[in-house]
Structure 1
Amino acid sequence: MSEEQPRNAQAGQRQKQVAKEQRQESGSAFAKYGLTRKNEEFIYQLSKQLNRQGVAKKKQPEMIQETINKLLEGQKKGQTAKALLGTPTAYANELKHPKPTSEAVRKESLKLLAVDNTLIFFSIFTFMYGLMYVLSPAAFKVNRNGSAGITAILLVAIIGGLLFSYVLLQIRPQAKKKRPLIWRILIIVIALVAWLLLYMLASMLPNAINPVLNGWLYIVFGVAGFGGDVYFRNHFHVMGLYGRRQRRR
């Protein structure tokens, strides 16, 4: 045991010396940028974290240069790397998983909301008509299938999903452009009228292209649509017409 301890101590000293030399070498590589010693250490640690987190080698130089530019700007204002960017580990993860731009978020939100709302409307109408059909089959023995037809339900659900997704993005408190209250009320009324008009037009489709399916099948569609929407919301963390489940970290 007494012989192993000195050997372990020597190995530890060698590792520390190698790490010190690596830091010095890395620091000298970044010395030309005029960074402070602490900022050079931050870049060194960031480079290690980018490698450790599996960031592609070809992407790293651009990330490092972008970080150096931010640190240089921060130095002019007396800001430390930690205050400006956090820890090297957290910032490396942020570089690896960059946040989308506000425009990208808006476009992506519209797509996600449209799917979410379409699934909501589809599940509501199919379950409602399925339940009505099961409880009162005679009520569906009419000349025109109307809004109970599957094509009408799909049209109302899809177009309604798109329409109300756009409206929701416009009236949210965090919308890009703040609108007056009267404008928000007006856009809701217009969207509702347009959707009701679509509902009426879809109900006039001929039976040949707008068949009524079995009531139990409608109920199955309704349950499946609701379950699919719950999964979709939890997977993509969508906030739609009836709130959002908190994202788990």
Structure 2
Amino acid sequence: MSEENQSRNAQAGQKQREQMQKESVATHHELSDQGLTKRNEEFMFQLGKQLDALNAKADKKAQVIEETMTALVEGQKKGTTAKQLFGTPTAYAAEIVNGPVRRGPQPQSSYKLLALDNGLMFFNIFAFMFGLMSVFSPKSMAADQTGTSGILAIILVAISGGLLFAWVTKVLSPAKKGEEKKPVWYKILSVVAALVAWIAIYFAASLLPGMINPTLPGIAYIVLAVLGFLADMYVRRRYNIVGGAFAGGQNQQARKK
């Protein structure tokens, strides 16, 4: 390429950059006249560029710009930022042109849901265990004078275990953004305290009189365990529960996501 052609290309490139700069300044002035803050001006400017890059139709772009600008002006009165309203200009423009991104159900791990999930699982385990013992080793069940195999004792142990280990799960979970990270000693003490409290409740439940804590037939325990398992499966799928004392694999998958 000759020096003359290089010079012409350089001049053309310089003119193009100057033209783009003039258009940018003009656009910012136009946005400033609408009463937008500097950040909202920049959001609108970048949104326009992204819409152009995605080949948005002129009439669609004009409509979006007008509606977005109106929303930003109203949001400014309440102290709401453009990011809070629309996210990033790139994502917002892509959603306008390509349609909203389909998202699956968001994993949930609230204390109440974890307590329900853990409680059901503890109930299922104890009910199934005592059911099998009653069916295959009825003599050992008859010789057992404690009330731990009573239905009320199983329910109390399951509820307390669900509540305690839902709390432990929350304590052991990684700190979210903005939260203070819990020290290791606190996590260890929390686990030990929960175990001690649960064992104490277990032994206290064994002292319940048979009148209010009857032992059911083995087959009844097995049926209750199966029903409890199905109920827990429904709850986990219905609310997309992530975490819990019996969900180590799901916890790892959720963290990878």
Q: Tell me the TM-score normalized by structure 1.
A: 0.62
Q: How far off its partner does 1:159 sit?
A: 1.1
Q: Give, as a single letter, the amino acid of the residue that structure 2 aligns with 1:154.
A: I
AA aligned opposite 2:175 = Q
Q: Is 2:191 aligned against 1:188?
A: yes
Find 2:205's aligned residue among 202, 206, 211.
Answer: 202
Distance 1:43 1:156 in 2: 63
Superposed displacement of residue 195, structure 1: 0.3
Classify 1:37/1:46 alpha carbon distance in 2 versus 1 (closer, same or farther; 3 Å).
Answer: closer
Q: CA deviation at 1:240?
A: 1.4
| 1:77-156 to 2 correspondences below 5 Å | 81-82=89-90, 85=92, 87-89=94-96, 109-142=110-143, 144-156=145-157
Contact (CA 8 Å) 2:72, 2:82: kept in 1 or not? no
Q: Structure 1's 110 and 86: CA in aligned 2 closer, same or farther, altered over 3 A? A: farther
Contact 2:131 2:222 in 1 (8 A): yes
1:147–1:203 Cα contact (<8 Å) kept? yes
Q: Which residue of 2 aligns with 1:221?
A: 224
Tell me the amino acid that sits aligned with residue 82 of structure 2.
Answer: L
Q: 1:155 deviation in Å? A: 0.3
How many aligned positions are there? 194
1:240 corresponding residue in structure 2: 244
Structure 2 CA distance for aligned equivalents of residues 110 and 73 of structure 1: 27
Instruction: Determine the C-alpha separation between the residues in 2 that align with 1:184 and 1:124.
Output: 26
Q: Relative to structure 1, is the Cα distance of residues 171 and 37 closer, same or farther in structure 2, using a 3 angstrom cutoff? A: closer
Q: Per the alignment, in what secondary structure is the counterpart of residue 156 of structure 2? A: helix
**Which residue type is aligned with residue 215 of structure 1?**
G
Letter in 2 for 1:133: S
Shift of 1:66: 3.9
Distance change in 2, residues 1:162/1:93 (3 Å): farther
Contact 1:45/1:88 (CA < 8 Å) preserved in 2?
no
SS in 1 for 2:110: helix
Give the residue type in structure 2 aligned to 1:81.
P
CA–CA distance in structure 1, aligned partners of residues 66 and 130 of structure 2: 60
Tell me, in whole angstroms, the C-alpha distance in 2 between the residues paired with 1:152 and 1:237. 29
Q: 1:64 to 1:39 in 2, by over 3 A?
A: farther
Structure 1 contact 46–88 (Cα < 8 Å) conserved: no
Preserved contact between residue 163 and residue 191 of structure 1 (Cα < 8 Å): yes
How far off its partner does 1:69 sit? 5.0
Unmatched segments (≥5 aa) in structure 1: 1-27, 49-60, 100-104
C-alpha contact (below 8 Å) 1:122/1:157 kept by paired residues: yes
Change (3 A) 1:204 1:44: farther
3-state SS, counterpart of residue 148 of structure 1 = coil
Find the counterpart in structure 2 of residue 32 from structure 1: 34
Q: Secondary structure at the match of 1:132?
A: helix
Percent pairwise identity? 37
Aligned in 2, Cα 1:80/1:121: closer, same or farther, shift over 3 Å?
closer
* 1:71 pairs with one of 68, 82, 104: 82
Matched-pair contact (CA < 8 Å) for 2:118–2:166: yes
Partners of 1:46 and 1:89 within 8 A in 2? no
Indicate the SS of the match to 1:153. Answer: helix
Residue in 1 that maps onto 2:159: 158
CA-based RMSD: 4.2
Deviation at residue 177 of structure 1 after TM alignment: 3.1
Distance 1:212 1:44, change over 3 A: farther
Shift, 1:211, TM fit: 0.5
SS of 1:211's equivalent in the other structure is coil
